[in-house]
Amino acid sequence: MKYISDELIKINESGLYREMKVVENAQDTHIEIKGKMLLSFCSNNYLGLANNPSVVKAVKDAVEEYGWGAGASRLVSGNMLLHEALENEISRFKGKEAALVFPTGYMANIGAISSLVSNGDLVISDKLNHASIIDGCRLSGADFRVYAHCDMQKLETILRKSAKYNRKLIVTDSVFSMDGDIAPLPDIVRIAGKYEAMVMVDEAHGTGVFGEGGRGVVEHFNLNKEVDIVMGTLSKAIGSLGGYVTGDTDLINYLRNRARSFMYTTALPPAVCAASIAGIKLIRNDPSIRESLWRNVRFIKDKLKSLDFNLISSESPIIPILIGDAQKAIDRSKLLYKKGILIPAIRPPTVPTNSSRLRMTVMATHTKSDLEILLDALSDIQG
Ligand SMILES: *Cc1c(COP(=O)(O)O)cnc(C)c1O
């Protein structure tokens, strides 16, 4: 076992060792760590729904009625009314025929991709896709090709040479989680059509944030009919837990019978589904939450221009400041922490070498004064 301690020393020396902080209160704009209140700019809880009163109430009511655990996998006896209700809610919200809920978004990606393609097929992925997509591609056994980030020429070059493959699947994040930019979905769909490839879009950071109805980047580009397979998570803007795939009825019936990360795992506790349903209802019925988010994003992005930072161009509430060196990024993050602000340093292997960054995310529930405190602290640590 000596290799383990040797590896740990190596990780440490390269400034890449990871430790976890412990949050002592509920997830909110302010979180408590070691008894100290910090202003958080690093949550995916974009709309503040993780601790929204109507979400909390839905959970309490569901626990009263259905207890906690689901006791078995969905296919055995764990499939309860709230799982079905959540899938109906998702498919209605997304404008698709059907949906399938997995315990996490990670499991939705590995389960869906590895069922859709296998040996003798081709799966094509953007270079900056989320780890769960990459793992799904690897697990599938299909030939796995990667195009440079958003490089449509490269995508087309790969497809041009793909005649020998039976099935072809293009999979992409809709919002790239470390850069905050969005995928050129209209181009992807057009190219896919030309070569008869399937398109799967991961709306983890898109759902609840983009589109007139908060349905995601697919809605933003008005491509709901063109994108065959839409995946997402219930753990980000929706503030809960779970992943889903939504599409036509055959697709969902197929995944229910093929996706191993769905079949061989216990169903989510029903109360978790109640939280997700309540979250989606808030997104559907109260666009003002999303409007507050975008107002905050515009305010921060506008003010950041006058500071001397190397900003990665982002189109979402994910705002990365490029630092480069991993240790330098950690030092900046520590300075901010001392000023009462939580923004983590994102380092390799999450991002490419020498592209370590401070990755900020803005929430709908940040107040103007929260944002001003952030800007003051950033201006103190620049240069
Ligand atoms: C967070 C994320 C996932 C995984 O979702 P979880 O529900 O947290 O497992 C998948 N894809 C993308 C793009 C993500 O950002």
Averaged pLDDT, groups of 10, the chain, 383 residues long: 94 87 96 96 98 98 98 98 98 98 98 98 97 98 98 98 96 97 98 98 98 98 97 98 98 98 98 98 98 97 90 94 93 96 93 94 98 96 78
Cα 328 to middle of ligand 1, angstroms: 27
Q: What is the DSSP string of 136-201?
A: HHHHH-SEEEEESTT-HHHHHHHHHT-TT-S-EEEEEESB-TTT--B--HHHHHHHHHHTT-EEEE
Residue 135 is encoded by which pair of tokens? 């793992």
Residue 311 is encoded by which pair of tokens? 């900003």
For the chain, the structural domain boundaries read: 11-40+287-380, 53-285
232 within ligand 1 shell (Cβ under 6 A): no
Please give the pLDDT value at position 15: 79
Cα 235 to middle of ligand 1, angstroms: 8
106 within ligand 1 shell (Cβ under 6 A): yes
Which residues are catalytic, by number? 177, 205, 236
Cα 197 to middle of ligand 1, angstroms: 23
235 within ligand 1 shell (Cβ under 6 A): yes
Q: What's the chain's length in residues?
A: 383
130 within ligand 1 shell (Cβ under 6 A): yes
Nearest atom in ligand 1 to the alpha carbon of residue 132 is 10
Q: Answer yes or no: are the C-beta atoms of 188 and 156 closer than 8 Å.
A: no
Top-tier CATH class for 53-285: alpha beta
309 within ligand 1 shell (Cβ under 6 A): no
Given the candidates 3.90.1150.10, 3.40.1190.20, 3.40.50.300, 3.50.50.60, the CATH classification of the domain at 11-40+287-380 is 3.90.1150.10
Same-fold call for 11-40+287-380 versus 53-285? no
Please give the pLDDT value at position 383: 62
Cα 51 to middle of ligand 1, angstroms: 19
Which protein residue's CA is at the shortest distance from atom 2 of ligand 1? 204
101 within ligand 1 shell (Cβ under 6 A): no
pTM: 0.96
